[in-house]
Amino acid sequence: AVTSCQDHCSPCVSKHEFDKIRDLVRGGGAEKVEAEVETRRPPFDVRLVRVGEHWRTLGLLVSPDDNPKYLVVDSVWGPSLISAWNDSADAAVQVRAGDRLSAVNGVACGSSEMLDMIQATDEGMEIILRVE
């Protein structure tokens, strides 16, 4: 029987991810699980400075993950600071829907605290987002 790793150790995947993988394995979709795991990128930092015409617009719609340590990127839009980042960044470090934010300005905390930190940045301030 498949059990949650959350029953045995600290959470390594969200409940949603675990349920999705469990359902694929039960349905004979193990090759789909392998493909999904292989597509996960290494964590990276996005450094933005709230300056320019779009300093007020980060360009992310985020929501809490099943794991309270993360914010999930639901969508990315522009013109915004993130769309400008994506336009100039390699594909490997572009922010896209489905990514998770795990820290803001080097602080790993709960999703609501990260959201507060993002919203507290003002014109001219730097914001560093840890993306996984």
Q: What is the pLDDT of residues 90-102, one digit of tens each?
A: 999 999 999 999 9
Q: What is the arithmetic mean of pLDDT over 36-43?
A: 72
Give the sign of the dihedral formed by CA 76, CA 81, CA 87, CA 92: negative
Give the sign of the dihedral formed by CA 18, CA 19, CA 25, CA 26: positive
The string of pLDDT tens digits covering residues 41-87 is 999 999 999 999 999 999 999 999 999 999 999 999 999 999 999 99
Q: What is the arithmetic mean of pLDDT over 4-25?
A: 51
Instruction: Estimate to the nearest angstrom the gap between the alpha carbon of 38 and the chain centroid.
Output: 17
pTM of the model: 0.71
* pLDDT at position 40: 77
Q: Quick check: helix, strand or coil at residue 54?
A: coil
pLDDT surpassing 60 at residue 128: yes
